[in-house]
Amino acid sequence: MPEAVKTLQDFMFNERKIDFITCKHLLSNTQSARVQEKCGFSLMEKIKMDNHFGELVSANINIIWAEDYFEMEEIK
């Protein structure tokens, strides 16, 4: 999955020239949290949201800025 996210990041930052990408994950979804962390996303905001059962759950909204992405790519 990190490879798919990195492909999307590459396309959006290099081809579409966007400034940032946001994504979110439920706190209970540790695998999604790990993928986002591996791909350079950092915490933007903690939120509460309704899940598909109508229950209020905790989630994180994460962000990666284009400049941070390019800096990470240079380090590789």
Give tens-digit pLDDT for 9-32.
Answer: 999 999 999 999 999 999 999 999
* CA separation for the pair 5, 76 (Å, rounded): 16
58: domain CATH number is 3.40.630.30
**In this structure, what token pair is assigned to residue 76?**
């590789």
Quote the domain boundaries for residue 65.
Answer: 2-75
Write down the pTM of the prediction. 0.90
List the beta bridge partners of residue 50.
56
The pLDDT value recorded for residue 75 is: 81
Q: Number of structural domains, the chain?
A: 1
Give tens-digit pLDDT for 57-67.
Answer: 999 999 999 99
